[in-house]
Amino acid sequence: MTAPSDTRTLVLHGLRLKGVAEPPAIAEATGVDLAEVQDHLAALVADGLVVRREGRLSGYALTPAGRAEHSRRLSEELDRLGVREEVSAAYERFLAHNRDLLEVCTAWQLREDDPDGEPVVNDHTDPDYDAKVIERLAEIDAEIQPICADLARSLARFGRYGPRLTHALERLRSGDKDWFTKPMIPSYHTIWFELHEDLLATLGIDREQEAAV
Q: Are 15 and 26 in contact (CB under 8 A)?
A: yes
Helix (H) or strand (E) holding 137: helix 127-154
Q: pLDDT (tens digit, 9 = 90+) per residue, 67-101?
A: 999 999 999 999 999 999 999 999 999 999 999 99
What's the number of CA atoms in the CB half-sphere (13 Å) around residue 79?
A: 7
* Structure confidence at residue 1 (pLDDT): 44
Name, in order, each residue with C-beta under 8 angstroms of 213's C-beta and a sequence gap of 6 or more: none
| Confidence check: pLDDT of 116 > 70 | no
Strands (E), the chain: 50-53, 59-62, 110-111, 120-121
Q: Are 172 and 179 in contact (CB under 8 A)?
A: yes
Strands (E), 1-119: 50-53, 59-62, 110-111
* Domain ranges within the chain, ordered by starting residue: 7-79, 84-212
Confidence of residue 7 (pLDDT cuts 50, 70, 90): very high
Angle (nearest 5°) at CA 9 between 5 and 15:
125
Residue 204 Cα to chain centre, angstroms: 16
Q: Are 203 and 150 in contact (CB under 8 A)?
A: no
Average pLDDT over residues 98-125: 87
Dist. CA 55–CA 32, nearest whole Å? 26
**What CATH code is assigned to 7-79?**
1.10.10.10
**Cβ count near 89 (within 10 Å):** 14
The pTM for the full model equals 0.86
